[in-house]
Structure 1
């Protein structure tokens, strides 16, 4: 059996993620993780203070990974699409992540308690791509408000979907597309933003001058 010194924190976190993915949050216990990494349960406390601390570490890792994925997506899309298209693509990526890894998604967007929330810097990283898009869409003064609006809508929709709360039939994929495309268009039409000014500029006006 490995000694604690030979069991890294990364191994412990990965074991926790594996259990979370296969068996859900209730099955994520210190004993289960210890069995997975091959140490006695008391040995884990030399690296992780508690189960809540382990959940927080997993949530922080996942938030960083999600931020990296979204950052790469927005960077790739930026060369070929406008901010509205980027926002739509980002929202679909978050939904795909939630459907593929629902328990990890909930650790970021629906934590069970304060002690298990991801570290603030990880959350900041995960929302960085969204803030860049909403800055372009709604302007710097409204970027945070816009990002919160998008997050609230998307997490509400995804949370209901994961809970099986949409029971009136219809195409859920189409409903999600309907919502995010119209939300993106609404943000782009905020008065005074660069995108809105460009759309409403009189075609007879000459170029801007200092």
Structure 2
């Protein structure tokens, strides 16, 4: 097995992200991460204080990944919303983790900055924060319901997402 010096914090965090995606946060144990990176579990404690600290690091890495995706989008309402939704579909457990771990929300500054910028473009400086909160709440609620399988009345969920985006943009521009 590699020595702890050959196992980076980035490798440990990435292993944690992979484990979470394959079985939720309950799957994230120090033993499982150690096995994935090829060290014994006690070696991880040289890099990470405990499981809670690892969960926070995983959530923060997930936030960074999401921020990069949003920044790479075309930064329109549709572009940001689609990037946000695609991220959640590709990383559903990581997406859930963003709102479940104390301290994760505080690390979402880059995500917030992108959405606030859009809010300013849509409604101006005075109501940018309110617009950003509306956009975030609608998209997060829709996506969480979608991930939970809560849309059971039939119909096309993709079309419903587009309908919501269209109406949201009309309302914000009014």
TM-score relative to the length of structure 1: 0.79
Q: Does 1:183 align with 2:173?
A: no
| Matched ranges for 1:1-210 at <5 A | 1-74=1-74, 86-108=76-98, 110-111=99-100, 113-114=101-102, 117-118=103-104, 120=106, 122-189=107-174
Give ranges in structure 2 of 5+ residues lacking alignment. Answer: none
CA RMSD of aligned residues (A): 1.4
After TM superposition, where is structure 1 displaced by more than 6 Å over at least 4 residues in a row?
none
Give ranges in structure 1 of 5+ residues lacking alignment. Answer: 76-85, 190-210
Could you list the per-position Cα deviations for residues 97-149 of structure 1 after superposition, in whole angstroms to 9, with x for gaps in the alignment?
Answer: 111110111122x21x42xx3273x4011222211111011111111111111
TM-score relative to the length of structure 2: 0.94
Aligned residues: 174
Q: Which one has a bigger Cα radius of gyration?
A: 1
